[in-house]
Amino acid sequence: MNSARIRVSTRSVDPADANDFWRVVTRPFFVTEPIGADTPLQGSIFALPIGTSLIGETTFNAQKYHRSKVVIAESGLDDQYMIQVVLGGQVSGDADGVDFVARPGDIAFFDLGRTWTADVETEATGRTITLLAPRSLVEAESKGRSLHGTVLRGVPAVVLAQCMQSVVLALPHLDPDATAGYEDVVASLLRVSLGIAEPDLSPRPDHSLRDRAYAYIAEHLSETWLGPTSMCAALSVSRAQLYRAFASDGGIALVIRRKRLELVYRELTRAEMSNETTDALALRCGFTSKSQLARAFKDFYGMTPSQARTDGRRTIGDPSIARLHRRLEFFSP
């Protein structure tokens, strides 16, 4: 079997270790807990990279999920979407203020840069087809709409679900070095499905503006002057246009602050992190002072930078699909 394929299962470990094993395996995505004390966690993942995405099948018993700000920062997956075709069980919860319920046949969308909580209810074994794809790919097909907490049903879901299931069924027979074309197929059918569902989706922001804004933020994140005013001037748009483009994210100022804080968290928790002072790190990540960083960090993560430096290194995830793949491979038998 080609090493690019991932096979992870709680069946590969002692039942007494299953809870801890599954928590660690799923940690890049969320904190996973059993529904009840008498129900140990069970699950499996079979996946393969396709282009810049990762697609596969997951199975699970009844579980609880929570994607917190800490998990977002440590995972490094904040520019990715998780798209799930629900084949068995029911997934319900709150996606950053949006209530959702996804039943068999539905497709649920989750922005991994935002928080959510979910309960998985299943009488037997739950099952999903899961696609991790870059936000740039997903929101290109959604014409810039935020899809966090969106659930597709009916014809739009059937079109996309059949495509994703076909790709997963073919995984055992695919040459991992020739799978990039499958990402294009999935992206094309994602566009069709979202187009069919267009009347039911939220108002669209200016997608090209979002792309330009994200690129500008990434380029100037360390600059203390980066903010709505400087971005409006650089991107030649009004403050109202910029706010509308990021309304579903709480506004551009919150996006900038979140990006800076996530960068600080990743720097604090890197295993190879040097003994850089918090003052120097604050200035390097766009904060005007150590005290400004400390206040913002405590408000956002509920801990101090020094606590994150000490505790976070024990749970830090991998900051890209490629590194995520290598991490999951570690748990493959």
Q: What are phi and psi of 19, to 5 degrees?
A: -60, -50
* pLDDT class of 248 with cuts at 50, 70, 90: confident
Residue 275 CA to chain centroid, in angstroms? 30
pLDDT in tens, 41-75: 999 999 888 877 888 999 999 999 999 888 888 78
Query: Which is nearest to 161 in space by CA: 135, 196, 189, 125?
Result: 189
105-148: pLDDT as tens digits: 999 999 998 899 999 988 778 999 999 988 767 876 776 677 88
- Indicate if the pLDDT at residue 246 is higher than 70: yes
Phi, psi angles (nearest 5°) of residue 159: -60, -50
Q: Which residue has the higher pLDDT, 25 or 199?
A: 25
pLDDT at 319: 38
Quote the pTM value.
0.72
* Contact assessment for residue 279 and residue 294, using Cβ atoms and an 8 Å cutoff: no
> Tokens 């840069």 belong to which residue?
113
Euclidean distance between CA atoms 270 and 281, whole angstroms: 13
pLDDT of residue 66: 94
pLDDT at 119: 92
Full strand arrangement of the beta sheet holding 126-134: 6-9, 43-50, 53-60, 126-134, 80-88, 107-111, 151-152
Q: Please name the amino acid found at residue 163.
A: C
Q: 269 or 122: whose pLDDT is higher?
A: 122
Question: For residue 331, what pLDDT is reported?
Answer: 72
Which among 80, 30, 99, 98 is positioned nearest to 60, based on CA atoms? Answer: 30
Confidence at residue 191, expressed as pLDDT on a 0 to 100 scale: 81
Residue 67's Cβ-side half-sphere holds a number of Cα atoms within 13 Å equal to 25
Q: Would you say residue 267 has pLDDT above 50? A: yes
Determine the average pLDDT of the residues in 199-223.
74
pLDDT at 144: 63
Mean pLDDT rounded to a whole number for the chain: 83
Give the separation between CA 112 and CA 79, rounded to whole angstroms: 7
- Confidence check: pLDDT of 199 > 80: no
Interval 188-210 mean pLDDT: 69
More confident residue, 207 or 119: 119
